[in-house]
């Protein structure tokens, strides 16, 4: 079905997605990363490189505040037609070459222009934003069942060498989310800087264990092209080798630092998405089914349009195959006070994060420590600070 998703009830008018053309923002917002370099070349002022950084960390949260939240949902009868409409898929397909071009352009730019230190820092942050959009797109595509979308997910994760996310997120994080064993679920009392030391290595280790186990059970060699971690890694190797041969070995430190910042954007998202939320253990190692209330949700308009509804994270975890255009808002869920662009900045300042989020978490789950995913190193301090009820479990 094309433009209109039909409702099965003939007495109701055909459903039309009012956000249909808003999703074009998901193509336009990543293009802003080229605006800073363009301004610099036009004006000769290196400070112009900071425009995209200021936009993402200042103007995007302001737009979320001004535009407010969108609590609307498509009727369930319209969802099959929405999911089948190729328009929404083509938007994700078109973004793949845009992001690759932005990443390659950034590498070319830093080699061909003599930038001061602050200009290079701006370019690292800009290129990291490109990589962050890559991971977000890889997240959307990687959950789908078509071979094309799954391969595009691997391709778009490759520029920043984070292809293992394809395995780690789908088969690891979704299984273990909001439990103490999940390296990608942050704990109350844990700063983002402690979290990244647990999350990044833990995610790769879990991905490798999952994929090597799958291959052995299938009777295939771990070190082979059947390995879905090695597949995007090979694409990364080819891309980075081509960039070094083209631009010189001096591009390699930039690629490494920019890729780390890109991948830290995923860490930032993981940090805010499940902070302190805990699924209850029903038997040793067996947890209740993941429900919408095990994720922090955000309905802020601008950032959701720019991020393929990533912030409707509660519905995504409850229904991971559901396409972005069909993700729903639910009442009475844990809700973030801002979209992700704003919450990232809050997370980077741990005292501010605790001020904004800790009482909000307690309002959601109560003051029973057994219902909170607490950092074991901070448990006594957290229990004392917030006067939690604690049975003494570690």
pLDDT, residue 4, reads 43
- pLDDT surpasses 80 at 394: no
Q: What is the pLDDT of residues 281-319, one digit of tens each?
A: 999 889 999 999 999 999 999 999 999 999 999 999 989
Q: State phi, psi for 282 to the nearest 5 degrees.
A: -90, -30
Helix (H, G, I), strand (E, B) or coil at 8: coil
Render pLDDT for 130-189 as a digit per residue (tens, 0 to 9).
999 999 999 999 999 999 999 999 999 999 999 999 999 999 999 999 999 999 999 999
Residues 6+ apart with CB under 8 A from 100: 155, 156, 159
pLDDT exceeds 80 at position 8: no
Dist CA 173 CA 164 (whole Å): 12
The confidence score (pLDDT) of residue 11 equals 57
Q: What's the chain's length in residues?
A: 394
**pLDDT score for 31:** 86
Give dist(CA 155, CA 246) in Å, integer: 20
Handedness of CA 339, 5, 136, 192 (dihedral sign): positive
The better pLDDT of the pair 391, 87 is held by 87
pLDDT band at 2 (very low <50, low <70, confident <90, very high): very low
Q: For residues 145 and 172, give the distance between their C-alpha atoms in angstroms, rounded to a whole number.
A: 17
Structure confidence by residue, pLDDT tens digits, 71-87? 999 999 999 999 999 99
- pLDDT band of residue 268 (cuts 50, 70, 90) is very high
Residues 6+ apart with CB under 8 A from 59: none
Q: Give 12's pLDDT tier (boundaries 50, 70, 90).
A: low
**Hey, how many other C-beta atoms are within 10 angstroms of the C-beta on 148?**
11
**Residue 329 DSSP SS3:** coil
pLDDT tens-place string over residues 102-121:
999 999 999 999 999 999 99
Q: What is the pLDDT of residues 16-60, one digit of tens each?
A: 889 999 999 889 888 888 899 999 999 999 999 999 999 999 999
> Is this model's pTM higher than 0.75 or not?
yes
Q: How far apart are CA 290 and CA 186, in angstroms?
A: 16
Q: How far is CA 236 from the centre of its chain?
A: 20
């Amino acid at each position: 079905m094309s433009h209109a998703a039909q409702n099965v009830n003939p007495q109701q008018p055909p459903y039309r997605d009012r956000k249909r053309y808003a999703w074009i923002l998901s193509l336009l917002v990543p293009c802003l990363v080229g605006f800073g370099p363009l301004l610099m070349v036009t004006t000769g002022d290196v400070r112009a490189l900071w425009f995209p950084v200021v936009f993402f960390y200042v103007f995007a949260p302001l737009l979320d505040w001004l535009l407010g939240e969108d609590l609307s949902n498509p009727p369930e009868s319209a969802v099959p037609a929405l999911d089948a409409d190729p328009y929404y898929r083509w938007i994700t397909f078109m973004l793949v070459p845009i992001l690759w071009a932005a990443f390659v352009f950034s590498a070319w730019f830093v080699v061909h222009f003599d930038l001061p230190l602050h200009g290079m820092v701006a370019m690292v942050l800009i290129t990291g934003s490109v990589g962050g959009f890559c991971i977000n797109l890889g997240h959307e595509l990687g959950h789908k069942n078509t071979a094309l979308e799954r391969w595009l997910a691997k391709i778009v994760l490759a520029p920043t060498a984070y292809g293992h996310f394809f395995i780690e997120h789908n088969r690891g994080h979704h299984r273990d989310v909001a439990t103490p064993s999940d390296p990608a679920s942050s704990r109350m009392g844990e700063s983002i800087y402690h979290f990244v030391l647990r999350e990044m290595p833990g995610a790769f280790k879990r991905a490798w264990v999952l994929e090597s186990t799958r291959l052995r059970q299938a009777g295939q060699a771990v070190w082979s092209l059947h390995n879905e971690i090695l597949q995007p890694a090979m694409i990364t190797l080819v891309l980075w080798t081509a960039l070094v041969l083209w631009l010189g070995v001096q591009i390699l430190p930039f690629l490494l630092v920019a890729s780390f910042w890109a991948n830290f954007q995923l860490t930032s998202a993981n940090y805010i998405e499940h902070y302190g939320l805990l699924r209850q253990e029903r038997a040793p190692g067996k947890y209740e089914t993941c429900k919408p209330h095990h994720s922090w949700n955000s309905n802020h308009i601008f950032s959701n349009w720019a991020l393929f509804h990533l912030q409707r994270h509660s519905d995504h975890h409850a229904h991971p195959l559901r396409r972005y255009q069909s993700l729903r808002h639910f009442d009475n869920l844990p809700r973030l006070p801002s979209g992700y662009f704003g919450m990232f900045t809050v997370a980077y300042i741990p005292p501010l994060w605790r001020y904004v989020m800790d009482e909000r978490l307690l309002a959601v789950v109560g003051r029973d420590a057994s219902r909170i995913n607490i950092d074991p190193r901070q448990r006594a301090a957290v229990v004392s600070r917030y006067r939690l009820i604690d049975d003494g479990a570690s």
